[in-house]
Amino acid sequence: MKYLKAYPDRHGKWRIYFRRPGYKERKLPVPPGYQGPKKPLPGDCLAFLTAYQECLSEPLAAVQPGEQRAAYGSVAWLVTEYLGSLDFLGRPESMRRWHRRYVDDFRVRRGERLVAGLETHHFESRLATMIATPAAANEWLTAMRDLMAYAVKRKLIPANPVAGIKKRPSGNPNGHHCWTPEQVEQFRATHPIGTRPRLAMELIVRLALRRSDVIRLGPPDLRDGKLIYTQHKNREHKPSQVDVPLPAELKAIIAATPGTGIKTWLVDGLGKPFTEDAFAHWFADASDAAGLPKRLRPDGTWVRLCTAHGLRKRCLTDLADRGATTKQIQGVSGHRTLEEIEKYTLMADRARNAAEAMRKQNRKATGRAAKGRGSV
């Protein structure tokens, strides 16, 4: 269907917009059960089709030739200028993606307002509506802070109204849930060797791959039995190369999986490499099929507990538990600093120290008991 832009938000909910050149943007209702632009529309889509037809037949919404699309100094004008600037285009691709999502939404909500009229309380009011999703709130705040910094640069406002707003405390201070060994085995029991979900899981849990890397790696990255690649994250500014041997068990799993791609090991149902978002949804469905647990958010909604990134944490935790040093783990994970890895080794050291302390206590208690029996 023409002029439609559909994408999932960070919670996996689809958003659909009508974007026709020369026309005002419209947000369309999402049909129940909608699975993306490459899938057939679900049966209950009357509201969506009606809104779409209204957009196609609404000439009054058009911007007339020669008419200024957005007034100078308005939020709509600022967003347009920002998205075409080096301040935005010079950022890493992954950051540009979510920056664009938030500033586009801001343009839809506040496009006609003058930037000069925006004050700190306007942004704080919006943040108050995102109290149940602190991670999304902090991403939105970062995007707004950068957008308003650009407004200062263009001399639309004298100071950044977002600069003094503090980020919200994370509702999940430990980050992504680290899969337990039992959850890994539960996934394996559902997806046997030879299936694509099993291959994806094994690649991540054995090599500590990020989502952005696991969808891009394949036979061309193998040299003399080693996987050599530059991590996709931060590749434009601070590239990190990983050079790690491919475990024999993983080689066997790759060989036993039919339908792997020529350039990438993981491909979708059409034999094409995954996009990051498509992989995230596909792997989440595989996790659901395995019956892995979910967690309840403060707003009363349920979200998946076991994510692909949590498997990467499982791999790093296993390496630390087996006595790998921070530098050895860094060679596998590609982290730029050792401080990012120390949390894994510190936890492993703490567990080992606690176990050794309890063994000493038990030995002492056993010795006292034996001495007592001998005196009777």
CA distance 336 to 329: 11
pLDDT at 242: 92
Residue 66's pLDDT is 43
Q: Which of 267, 258, 118 is nearest to 192 (CA)?
A: 258
Domain covering 75-103+110-171: architecture: Orthogonal Bundle (1.10)
Given its phi and psi angles, is residue 259 left (phi above 0), alpha (psi -120 to 50 degrees) or beta? left
Would you kindly state where each structural domain of the chain is located, as residue ranges? 1-67, 75-103+110-171, 181-333
pLDDT at 63: 46
> For residues 38 and 36, what is the distance between their CA atoms, to the nearest angstrom?
6
34, 14 Cβ separation under 8 angstroms: yes
In whole angstroms, what is the distance from residue 10 CA to residue 277 CA? Answer: 9
Rounded distance between C-alpha atoms, residue 176 and residue 178, angstroms: 6
Strand duo 226-230 + 241-245: pairing: antiparallel
Report yes or no: 113 and 73 within 8 Å, Cβ to Cβ.
Answer: no
pTM value is 0.64
CA distance 103 to 149: 13
CATH of 181-333, one of 3.30.1490.20, 3.40.50.150, 1.10.443.10, 3.40.640.10: 1.10.443.10
What is the identity of the amino acid at 169?
A: P
| Nearest residue to 147 (alpha-carbon basis) of 112, 205, 104, 200 | 104
Q: How high is the mean pLDDT in each 10-residue block of the chain (376 residues)?
A: 79 80 74 82 79 70 49 91 87 82 90 93 92 86 96 95 88 77 96 97 96 94 93 82 94 93 90 90 94 78 86 91 88 85 75 78 67 55
Burial of 74 (0-12, 13-18, 19+ CB in 10 A): buried
